[in-house]
Structure 1
Amino acid sequence: LDNAMAWARPDFLLVNGTNVFLYPEGRSLDFPATVTVTTHPGWQVVTSMHSGGAPRTYREANYHDLVDMPFFIGRMDVDSAQISGKWTRFASYPAGSFQGRMRDSLAKRISRVIPAESAVLGETPWDTYSILMIFDASFGGGSALEHQSSHVGVYTPFLGTPGADTILTSITAHEIFHAWNVKRLRPADLVPYRYSASQPTTWLWVSEGITDYYADVALARAGVLDSTAFINAMLSNMQTVGAAPPTALEDASLSTWIHPKDGSGYIYYPKGSLTGFMLDIMIRDASDNARSLDGVMRELYQSTYKRGRGFTGAEWWATVRQAAGGRDFAEFNARYVDGRDPYPWATVLPLAGLRYVVDSVQQARLGISSNADSTGVHVMEVTAGGVAEAAGVHVGDQLISVGGVQVQNAAWATRFRQLYDGKVGVDVPITVRRAGQTVSLMGKSRTVPVANERIEFDRNASPRAVRIRNGIIRGS
């Protein structure tokens, strides 16, 4: 399944315009187009394309708009609601795959998220927004692709279950914010769209990363995430970035086109989000919370998109500088966007009444690398000097149990650490399967120092810092 392609099943058709509608080479793309859908009477058609005045007839004023309006055609579940004075459609395929309480929950959450996002840019720019969802058991995870008044998502059914629904809401919030940031407000490198050649840009950290930031911000302002969950989302991004090779944001932004193999691909999402978070704090601190990154996005939206063009790097930093009361961000850009310096959380977070804390804890480790497959969990490497080596574990052994914990998948390690963290010299019974035989071994527990990172709300924060923190989370 591919949300960027056009494909069909016996009861369904996904149409992406760039795959279906041809354009005349060498001629202007500013020509009107009409699309008529002829299909089974009982099937439904969902698109954000404007009505053409006749049943199942649609029109757009130019080729760019024509190909940016995907269609769902077939048997599916469809609901509509007015949000921020505009219609929002929820369409899911296959019929019956996403219903009941979870569907209602997503609709209620999005009814709060859209107003929070609209408030950042100052308008709701569509006539109708279509949330187009495909659920398929063969698909792992979730993937969505933005369009100017809709998005197409393909998801594992697990994301439509209790406990995973916040992930689905987050993806949806991200894609909806793209209706402003990328589909309308976008770097000059991407204006106008070209269909015959790639358009690399070093600004995906804004287009994708800051979109990710505002998805989390909107979830917090909409009450989907509480303040602790929002801060933990920022912490998760910090940990993701910390585990990746040091990579300049401008370089990372090009990974969509060059596909690096060093683990830095797509790091512009979490690192770009963190850059937005840091800029938001610094702008609010410089203005005593009178201005923010919200204002930067809104000003650029008005001064570039509304005038039919994209923003340049000089315009981005000039708008940031103006919002921060004239503060120069040249060093910031050189160190944290064009450079690879670690972010200064120890000095930036206190400006928002937050503390970055790193504790060293003694964590139990068995001393192996393992791999789980359909036959079980197998030892791939044994660390010298570890518990497993001393007990006699071999590469190739299948783990059956460790310390009384049954080993059925990768989750066993978490339970093992819960039982043995902080304990040294305690017996650790280990059962393995080796050459068709069950072998019982015994080791002695050991621990290693591990950094435990967290972000805390500073109880001694100044009133100014508290205003900044509340301004980010509440939108004030």
Structure 2
Amino acid sequence: MSYYSKGAAVGFLLDAELRRHSAGRRSLDDLLRRAYQRYAGARGYTAAEFRQLAAEVAGAPLDEFFARTVDSPGSLDYEPALQTLGLRLSAPAQGNRDGEQGDGGDGGDDETPGWLGARTATEHGRLVVTEVPRDTPAHEAGVNVGDELLATDDYRLPAAGLDQQLGYYRPGDRVSLLIARRGVLRRIPVTLGRAPETSWTLTVDSGADRRRAAARSRWLEDES
């Protein structure tokens, strides 16, 4: 988890939480302005002081909010913020990763490339794994961060990346992945999958009541 991206997400959730407790009268902007006015200078503020200030701006305790979003390693829950602002977030369609066809497909003309799921980077001419997300073919096969990818089925992988080589395979194909891990060559059998849809959709909740619709309008138009 990148604390940069999570920090931005928590900032959004905190903004919505402040708006919810204050009936839309105060926001994250008010919190940051007050923090600057009170703590600007060489000392700054502690985490406890910031949390206390957030509760002051909200007009309500926020201990549970910070415990849930900052102190816990679990996934963030966007639903309370979305409800406050009269929004809906739709998950991407669940694509098949095991090579099975959806409705109407027989698999004969499928040109979908195989998907490994590992993220890579070129380092000094070497194709190196930088991230192995869970529930990907790479994760299930045991590929690790730091592995150097050398070949698939004895065909040398270009240092530029995986896409061209994986274009010769289809979801469900079994390949032998040659890697170098801490100086030792290894062969790892991998069953390639189908890359899932990753686009989420944020829409206006047409069923939101007037209070939430007004909160959404203030949130969109707020330039303070």
TM-score bracket relative to the smaller structure? 0.5 to 0.7
Residue of 61, 66, 77 corresponding to 1:344: 77
Amino acid at match of 2:31: V
Q: Which has the higher strand share?
A: 1
Residue of 449, 457, 460 corresponding to 2:203: 457
**Partner SS state of residue 291, structure 1:** coil
**Contact 1:377–1:410 (CA under 8 A) maintained in structure 2:** no
Which residue of structure 1 aligns with residue 144 of structure 2? none
**Contact 2:87–2:202 (CA under 8 A) maintained in structure 1:** yes
Higher RCO, 1 vs 2 (CA within 8 Å, ≥6 residues apart): 2
Structure showing greater Rg = 1
TM norm structure 2? 0.56
Amino acid at match of 2:153: H
Residue of 375, 391, 394 corresponding to 2:153: 394
Q: How many matched pairs?
A: 170
Which residue of structure 1 aligns with residue 149 of structure 2? none
**Contact 1:291–1:324 (CA under 8 A) maintained in structure 2:** yes
CA distance 1:279–1:365, change in 2 (3 Å): same
Q: How does 1:289-438 map to 2 (within 5 A)?
A: 289-305=24-40, 309-325=43-59, 327-359=60-92, 360-362=94-96, 364-366=112-114, 394-398=153-157, 409-410=160-161, 412=163
Which residue of structure 1 aligns with residue 133 of structure 2? none
CA shift digits 1:343-379 (9 cap, x unpaired): 11133223223222223123645255797869x998x
**Contact 2:115–2:194 (CA under 8 A) maintained in structure 1:** no
Counterpart-to-counterpart distance in 1, 2:66 and 2:30:
19
Structure 1 residue 280: deviation in Å? 0.2
CA distance 1:372–1:285, change in 2 (3 Å): closer
Amino acid at match of 2:14: L
Counterpart-to-counterpart distance in 2, 1:465 and 1:455:
19
**Contact 1:282–1:348 (CA under 8 A) maintained in structure 2:** yes
**Contact 2:69–2:76 (CA under 8 A) maintained in structure 1:** yes
**Contact 1:280–1:472 (CA under 8 A) maintained in structure 2:** no
Residue of 11, 14, 18 corresponding to 1:283: 18
Residue identity over aligned pairs, in percent, reads: 25
The gaps in structure 1 that reach 5 residues or longer are 1-243, 245-266, 386-392, 400-407, 429-445
Structure 1 residue 453: deviation in Å? 4.5
**Partner SS state of residue 273, structure 1:** helix
Amino acid at match of 2:32: M
CA shift digits 1:219-275 (9 cap, x unpaired): xxxxxxxxxxxxxxxxxxxxxxxxx3xxxxxxxxxxxxxxxxxxxxxx322211111
**Contact 2:55–2:61 (CA under 8 A) maintained in structure 1:** yes
Amino acid at match of 1:279: L
Amino acid at match of 1:310: G
TM norm structure 1? 0.29
The answer to whether 1:474 aligns with 2:221 is yes
**Partner SS state of residue 89, structure 2:** strand
RMSD between aligned residues = 4.4
Counterpart-to-counterpart distance in 1, 2:48 and 2:119:
49
Q: How does 1:165-204 map to 2 (within 5 A)?
A: none
Counterpart-to-counterpart distance in 2, 1:354 and 1:279:
16
**Contact 1:283–1:323 (CA under 8 A) maintained in structure 2:** yes
CA distance 1:348–1:337, change in 2 (3 Å): same
**Contact 2:171–2:194 (CA under 8 A) maintained in structure 1:** no
